[in-house]
Amino acid sequence: MSKQNIRYLQSDNPDEGSLQVNVESASGTLPIENATVEISYTGDPSGSIEQVTTNSSGQTEGIMLDTPPLEYSMEPSEQQPYAEYTIRVSAVGYTSVTVSGIQLLPGERSVQRVRLVSLDSSLNPIDNIVIPANTLFGNFPPKIPEAEIKPVDESGEIVLSRVVVPEYIIVHDGAPTDNTARDYYVTYKDYIKNVASSEIYATWPDATIRANILAIMSFTLNRVYTEWYRNKGYDFTITSSTAFDHKWIYGRNIFANISRIVDEIFLNYLSRPNVKQPILTQYCDGQRVSCPNWMTQW
């Protein structure tokens, strides 16, 4: 959060959102009890504003924190609609982790998952995570247009005989040709929750959130069904580049209402009559980027 936004939160009449931190082992199977979570403004990480500990489930209580007013996220605005917080998570016997840029929206619960690596582990811990701006507020490359329905008569173009909702997908954290980018194994539902939390605002009406999630899922399942990148010689399912796919952010916070909706509708997708494959549902915000004949998020 910029110093300007910190001053805004201190001087205006802000709303509030809640932050819950879930701390677990590197494998994600063991909750870590009595982990210490220090919270500060991202623009002032040295000034702790709250310190809490995790319970036997590895979770903190929901901590109420200041956010900008609701109206900032309900229509396009030059004002940043979310507050940004930094946490430092530490526990006895584990490498500490710092997460910066955790986004809080008014009236919504933000859940930050943190995995700690044991000090005696051979794993190389990622101990500093920085969450960039939501795509509606930051500057990201616009989607390069593609056909929404892929041809099926090319040899090898379609690998799957039917639409399958996978348990895991492999996310290439960069452009397809970036050989330095890491690949991450992510559950399908966690991937959709991450993208939706990165590309829309959790304060939007329920029906609007559902429509956007359906578009994200249909696009993703088209990539799965057509084996789009594997047919080009790559070993991943999808990328995190907005020029090619969706914005996926390693280690970012997820909004509780978005998580709930994904859990409810994750088996769904959009298609055309007499077309088996999910549509490559391309979209843009319709404000910063114009995309005639596509869906627009706002």
Any domain includes 223: yes
Q: Given pLDDT bands bounded at 50, 70 and 90, which one contains residue 162?
A: confident
Do 172 and 221 sit in the same domain of this protein? Answer: yes
Q: Is residue 143 part of a domain?
A: no
Do 79 and 185 fall into the same domain?
Answer: no
Tell me, what's the pLDDT at 11?
A: 45
**pLDDT score, position 75:** 95
Q: How many domains does the chain have?
A: 2
Asked if residue 151 belongs to a domain, the reply is: no
Looking at residue 100, which CATH number applies to its domain?
Answer: 2.60.40.1120
Per-residue pLDDT, averaged over 207-213, amounts to 97
Q: How confident is the model at residue 288 (pLDDT cuts 50, 70, 90)?
A: confident
Q: Are residues 75 and 176 in the same domain?
A: no
**125 and 177 both lie in a single domain:** no
Write out pLDDT tens, residues 126-135: 999 999 999 9
Asked which of 15-24, 148-157, 247-256 is least confident by mean pLDDT, the reply is: 148-157
Residues pairing with 296 in the sheet = 284
Same domain, residue pair 11 and 100:
yes
Asked whether residue 106 falls in the same domain as residue 9, the answer is yes
Q: Both ends of the chain: CA-CA distance in Å?
A: 24
Task: Please work out, in degrees rounded to the nearest 5, the angle formed at the alpha carbon of residue 126 by the alpha carbons of 27 and 84.
Answer: 105
Contacts (Cβ under 8 Å, ≥6 apart) of 253? 19, 99, 102, 103, 110, 111, 112, 113, 131, 197
What's the whole-number average pLDDT of the chain?
A: 92
Same domain, 176 and 261: yes
Q: Which run of H or E residues covers position 128?
A: strand 128-130
290 and 182 share one domain: yes
9-13, 78-82, 98-102, 275-279, range with the lowest pLDDT: 9-13
Tell me the pLDDT tens digit for each residue of 58-113. Answer: 999 999 999 999 999 999 999 999 999 999 999 999 999 999 999 999 999 999 99
Domain containing residue 19: 3-130
What is the per-residue pLDDT for 160?
65
Per-residue pLDDT, 153: 55
Give Cα 147 distance to the centre of its chain. Answer: 25
pLDDT at 129: 98
State yes or no: pLDDT of 2 exceeds 60: no
Give the chain's radius of gyration (CA, Å): 20
The last residue of one of the domains, among 130, 153, 186, is 130
Q: Could you say which of 100, 130, 160 is where a domain stops?
A: 130
Burial of 167 (0-12, 13-18, 19+ CB in 10 A): exposed
Looking at the structure, tell me whether residues 26 and 111 fall in a common domain. Answer: yes
Average pLDDT estimate for 275-293: 91
Residue 83 included in any domain: yes
Beta-carbon-side half-sphere exposure of residue 151 (alpha carbons within 13 Å): 5
Mean pLDDT confidence for 248-263 = 98
What is the pLDDT at residue 279? 94
Query: If we measure between CA atoms, which residue out of 253, 3, 213, 295 comes closest to residue 104?
Result: 253
Residue 209 backbone dihedrals phi, psi, to 5 degrees: -60, -45
- Considering the domain architecture, whether residues 9 and 88 belong to the same structural domain is answered as yes
- Does some domain include residue 283? yes
Torsion (CA) 35, 39, 42, 45 in degrees, nearest 10: -90
Residue 125 in any domain: the answer is yes
Interior/surface letters 64-91, b for 16+ CB within 10 angstroms, e for the rest: ebbbbebebbeeeeeebbbbbbbbbbeb
Reported as a pLDDT band with limits 50, 70 and 90, residue 149 is confident
Mean local confidence (pLDDT), 237-265: 98
The predicted pLDDT at position 1 comes to 46
* pLDDT range class, residue 5, cuts 50, 70, 90: low
Per-residue pLDDT, averaged over 232-258, amounts to 98
89 three-class SS: strand
Is residue 65 domain-resident? yes
Last residue of a domain, one of 75, 102, 130: 130
Asked if residue 228 and residue 118 are part of one domain, the reply reads no
Distance CA(238)–CA(240), nearest Å, equals 7
- 31 has pLDDT over 90: yes
Q: How confident is the model at residue 10 (pLDDT cuts 50, 70, 90)?
A: very low
- pLDDT beyond 60 at 156: no
Kindly tell me if the per-residue pLDDT of 123 is higher than 70: yes
Is the pLDDT confidence value at 168 over 50?
Answer: yes
Instruction: Please indicate, yes or no, if residue 100 is contained in any of the structural domains.
Output: yes
On whether both 105 and 219 belong to a single domain, the answer is no
